[in-house]
Structure 1
Amino acid sequence: MAKIAFILLCHKDPDAIIQQALQLTAAGDYMAIHFDASASSEAYQQLRSALDGNPNVVFAKKRIKCGWGEWSLVQATLNAIESATVAFPRATHFYMLSGDCMAIKSAAYVHTYLDDRDADFIECYDFFESDWIKTGLKEDRLLYRHFLNERNNKRAFYACLDLQKKLGLKREIPADIQVQIGSQWWCLRRRTIEWILDFTRQRKDVMRFFKTTWIPDETFFQTLVRHLVPAQEIECRTLTFLMFSDYGMPVTFYNDHYDMLLGQDFLFARKISPEADELKKRLGALYASEREDFIVSNEGQNLFRFLTGRGREGRRFAPRFWESEATLGRGRELMIIACKKWHVAKRLAESIRNSTNYPVVDYLFNEEHTPLPDIGGIQASLEKRTRHRRALTRMLFDYYETDRMVICMDTSNIELIHDFYADRSKTKLLEIECSFSEDYLHGHAIRVGLLGEQAAEETFARLLPTIRQDIHHEVDRIRDEEFADHYRLREDALPEANAQALSDFLDIPMERALDIAKTEHLFVD
């Protein structure tokens, strides 16, 4: 059975570290701790007093001062690994943790998971070809030498970098390695760890190279694992669940995240709030249990984006220059059907096609596979369609050789609707009011990725009021805009009332509008 040696780098909160060590080692696993040398000696002595008697805990023989982005983080990790390999010869896996990580599965589940998979778990993407780095330095991390900490000495850091560039001091990467990048939270087999330690002793040139790179904890182990281990034995992922905000900061988990965390396809989570006492207590008890019946729904990332995105009212990105210059053309009329229930709008769209000569396009800004003609590639992806929305719509008018066209949109597309109303062409809006049962909202949450297929009912129950309120909020935003030529089709209205709205919206006789309003099963889910 798998026996894990947890590699813990920490620098504060000795009480939490002691609790973490006791919880993880109580299940028969091990822990090697590196406590930052810049932390107080009192805190370190507290750790030693509490844990020295535990045979499953060892401390790194040499403590060093660590700085974010520096080689010191890698060296501290290597120091802890070396202590662990000597102290725990029965350890089969080495798992990198921080002080604010906690297990989100039981020890029994974790051990079975690792036993069933003979692989190393580490993100390792090609440094130069991937887009793993979103902001900041990229190639310069490697090609120039970094002796200062950018966070502590920003001006001197960049002055040193600029001087090297000016003097042409770009260096070569060791020829036989392909630099990789990825998360620093990994889980490696013992054999891989031993290969890495041997490599560090033999390849002084590679060690010298990485010691002066910037943020090497995202490249060192990732590069060596890919260099030493056959590709088929590497799972390019982390087993630690973590999320980042739009500002690049780690998302913190609190007491009410318990059910969501258990549903993720990961073994640990980072980072748990120091104040989340109830969450830490429940996760600690969970790890000590024999439970293995976890239902993995994996909706965490989408759920986070949904809930945080609701707070961004009023956000409006400036239009691109090609958007501001593009126009549908004076004299043209764009008729927008806005509906949250796509199947309802599509049924109505099909009736309009059959009853008029208007071209009707379904959810072209929401659905990747909406049938569209080939108009030069601008229709190829949702990103292109949205970015060039006016140009795309103008080309569709030209393709269909018409001055009137109907398109469908989700009610969340308020910015797009507003943008079309700002055009010199004429725009009309038909809003379809539908009722939303709990069954429909449950299916909607699954379709958009807020819930996994196997998500717990309790998770949905807590999310339901937020989803319902979000839909109402979208409708309110549309109403607040007070768009001209805004008509409504209501599920609870008589066909005659809906026919009047359709007649005004489409400029068609009442008789034909009534036929459309009586579309069979129009509002049926």
Structure 2
Amino acid sequence: MAKIAYILLCHKDPDAIISQAEQLTAAGDCMAIHFDARANAPDYVRIRSALKDNPNVTFAAKRIKCGWGEWSLVQATLNALQAAVAAFPRATHFYMLSGDCMAIKTAEYTHRFLDENDKDFIECHDFFESNWIKTGMKEDRLIYRHYFNERTQARRFYTSYELQKRFGLTRDIPEDLQVMIGSQWWCLRRRTIEMILDLLRQRRDVIQFFSTTWIPDETFFQTLVRHLIPKTEIENRTPTFLMFSDYGMPVTFYNDHYDMLLGQDYLFARKISPSAHDLKERLGVLYASEGVDFPISGEGRSLHAFLTGRGRVGRRFTQRFWEAGNTLGPERELFLIVCKKWHVAKRLVDQIALETDIPCVEYLFNEQETPLPDLGGIETTLTKRSRHRRSVVRMLFEYFGKDRLVLCLDPANLDVIEDFCGDTAKTRVLEIECEYSDDYLIGHARRVGLAGENSPSETVARLLPPIRNDLAHESELIRGAGIDGYQRIREAADRAENEAAITEFLGVDADKAQAVMRLDYLFSD
């Protein structure tokens, strides 16, 4: 059965460290602690005193002063690993943690998971081919030597860096290594750790290279694991659930994230807020529990993106350069049908196509599989259609040989609506206002990834008000945009009112509008 030695790197909050060690070792696992040598000395004494009688806790023999982006973080990890390998000969796995991490599964679940998946869990993406690095230096992390900390010694860091660039003082990567990159939070098997430590005893050049690499904790273990272990024995992901904000900062979890965290397909989560006392207490009790079922919903990332994205309106400020002189033409009429329930809009356009000679295209900018003619390749992806939307619509006018065209749009596409309304073509907008039951909103949340099939009902219930408000807000923005030629049909309105709106929208007579609106099941879900 799996027995885990947790490798804990920490620098603050001694009470939380003591509690974390006691909770994780109570279930039979072990822990090796490295407490930053820069940290408060009395705090370290306190930790050692509180845990001195715990046989499942050991400490790194040598403490390192750690700095972000430095080799010191890797050296501290190696010191803790060496202590753990020596102190816990029965440990089968070594799991990297920080003081901000907590288990989101039981020990029972975690041990069974590791027993059933005989692999190393670590992100290993090709350093040069992947896009794991989003901003900042990339190749220069490796080919130049970095002796100073960019955060605390910025002038020295950049002076050294610029001098090396000016005089071409590059270095070679050890030729037998394919540098990999990924998250520093991993879980490795004992055999893998022993192979890494053995390699380092033989290969001083490896330590020499990585010790002057910038941010080596994202490349050191990732590279060596991939060098030593067959790809088939590596699960290319971190077992720790973590997310980052738009600004590259780790997302912090609070008391009301408990249910969401348990539904993620991970063993631990980072970062737990120091003030989330209730969350810490519940997760601490959870690890030692037995017989707990964990339905995996996996909606954490998309849910976070949805909630943090609410209220952000108008990401575009000007037209794209290829759109500025790209108009549909003043002789053309464009009819935009806007509806969140796509199946309702599709029924309506089917009726319009049946009763009139106006060509209709469904969710052109929202649905990849929308039936389209061959437009020379520009129609093949949603990205291309959205990037060159006026060109695509102009080509559709030309393909159909008509000066009138109906398109469906999602209400979230206000920028698209406003863009077409600003064209020289005569553009009219018809909003379809539908009623949203709780069941429909739950289905919507699952379709867009805000909830999974196994998300707890309490979590889903808390989602419904913000989703309902979000849909109402989209409609308010459209109505408040002051669009000329705006009409609306409503599920709650009588047939005569809706027929009058269709008459105005399409510019048809009352009989034709009645024919378009004669579907009794138009608004049915």
| TM-score, shorter chain, exceeding 0.5 | yes
C-alpha distance in 1, partners of 2:78/2:376?
54
**Is the 2:314–2:415 contact (alpha carbons within 8 Å) kept by the matching residues of 1?**
no
Aligned position for 2:518? 518
Aligned position for 1:311? 311
Which amino acid in structure 2 is aligned with residue 2 of structure 1?
A: A
Query: CA, structure 1 residues 202+136, in 2 after alignment: closer, same or farther (shift >3 Å)?
Result: same
1:10-409 pair list within 5 angstroms: 10-409=10-409
C-alpha distance in 1, partners of 2:390/2:134?
29
Query: CA, structure 1 residues 388+187, in 2 after alignment: closer, same or farther (shift >3 Å)?
Result: same
> What whole-Å deviation, never above 9, does each CA across 1:351-383 have from its counterpart, x for those lacking one?
111112212111111112112222222222222
> What whole-Å deviation, never above 9, does each CA across 1:20-68 have from its counterpart, x for those lacking one?
0000000000001111111111111111111121110011001011110
SS of the aligned residue for 2:350 comes to helix
Which amino acid in structure 1 is aligned with residue 410 of structure 2?
A: D
> What whole-Å deviation, never above 9, does each CA across 1:463-500 have from its counterpart, x for those lacking one?
11111111111111111112110001111222222122
SS of the aligned residue for 1:488 comes to strand
C-alpha distance in 2, partners of 1:317/1:125?
35
- How many residues of Structure 1 are paired with residues of Structure 2 in the alignment? 525
Aligned position for 2:480? 480
SS of the aligned residue for 2:428 comes to strand
**Is the 1:496–1:517 contact (alpha carbons within 8 Å) kept by the matching residues of 2?**
no
Q: Which moved more, 1:314-323 or 1:16-25?
A: 314-323
Give, in angstroms, the shift of residue 136 of structure 1.
0.7
Q: Which moved more, 1:41-50 or 1:318-327?
A: 318-327
Give, in angstroms, the shift of residue 520 of structure 1.
4.1
**Is the 1:337–1:429 contact (alpha carbons within 8 Å) kept by the matching residues of 2?**
yes
Report sequence identity in percent: 66
Give, in angstroms, the shift of residue 315 of structure 1.
4.1
Which amino acid in structure 1 is aligned with residue 464 of structure 2?
A: L
Query: CA, structure 1 residues 375+153, in 2 after alignment: closer, same or farther (shift >3 Å)?
Result: farther
Give, in angstroms, the shift of residue 504 of structure 1.
1.4
Aligned position for 1:428? 428
Give, in angstroms, the shift of residue 391 of structure 1.
2.0
Q: Point out where structure 1 has 5 or more consecutive residues left out of the alignment.
A: none
Which amino acid in structure 1 is aligned with residue 524 of structure 2?
A: V
C-alpha distance in 2, partners of 1:509/1:30?
79
Q: Which moved more, 1:67-76 or 1:161-170?
A: 161-170
> What whole-Å deviation, never above 9, does each CA across 1:114-141 have from its counterpart, x for those lacking one?
1111000000010111111111111111
**Is the 2:146–2:161 contact (alpha carbons within 8 Å) kept by the matching residues of 1?**
yes
**Is the 1:433–1:489 contact (alpha carbons within 8 Å) kept by the matching residues of 2?**
yes
Q: Which moved more, 1:398-407 or 1:136-145?
A: 398-407
**Is the 2:327–2:390 contact (alpha carbons within 8 Å) kept by the matching residues of 1?**
yes
C-alpha distance in 2, partners of 1:36/1:311?
41
Q: Which moved more, 1:356-365 or 1:450-459?
A: 356-365
C-alpha distance in 1, partners of 2:154/2:320?
33
> What whole-Å deviation, never above 9, does each CA across 1:64-96 have from its counterpart, x for those lacking one?
111101111111100100000000000000000
SS of the aligned residue for 1:185 comes to coil
TM-score, normalisation: structure 1: 0.98
TM-score, normalisation: structure 2: 0.98
SS of the aligned residue for 1:429 comes to strand
Q: Which moved more, 1:395-404 or 1:204-213?
A: 395-404
C-alpha distance in 2, partners of 1:318/1:49?
63
C-alpha distance in 2, partners of 1:65/1:441?
52
Give, in angstroms, the shift of residue 317 of structure 1.
4.3
Aligned position for 2:6? 6
C-alpha distance in 1, partners of 2:207/2:198?
12
C-alpha distance in 2, partners of 1:486/1:332?
17
C-alpha distance in 2, partners of 1:333/1:224?
62
C-alpha distance in 1, partners of 2:176/2:288?
45
Aligned position for 1:492? 492
Q: Which moved more, 1:94-103 or 1:288-297?
A: 288-297
SS of the aligned residue for 1:477 comes to helix
Which amino acid in structure 2 is aligned with residue 281 of structure 1?
A: E
SS of the aligned residue for 2:8 comes to strand
Which amino acid in structure 2 is aligned with residue 138 of structure 1?
A: K
SS of the aligned residue for 1:487 comes to strand
C-alpha distance in 1, partners of 2:374/2:272?
49
> What whole-Å deviation, never above 9, does each CA across 1:334-354 have from its counterpart, x for those lacking one?
111000101000111111111
Give, in angstroms, the shift of residue 402 of structure 1.
2.1
* RMSD value, Cα: 1.2
**Is the 2:379–2:392 contact (alpha carbons within 8 Å) kept by the matching residues of 1?**
yes
**Is the 1:123–1:183 contact (alpha carbons within 8 Å) kept by the matching residues of 2?**
yes
SS of the aligned residue for 2:363 comes to coil
C-alpha distance in 2, partners of 1:317/1:36?
47
> What whole-Å deviation, never above 9, does each CA across 1:191-211 have from its counterpart, x for those lacking one?
000011111111111221111
C-alpha distance in 1, partners of 2:100/2:264?
18
**Is the 1:127–1:181 contact (alpha carbons within 8 Å) kept by the matching residues of 2?**
yes
C-alpha distance in 2, partners of 1:269/1:367?
34
Give, in angstroms, the shift of residue 180 of structure 1.
0.5
Q: Runs of 4 or more off by more than 6 Å in structure 1?
A: none
C-alpha distance in 1, partners of 2:436/2:339?
12
SS of the aligned residue for 2:28 comes to coil
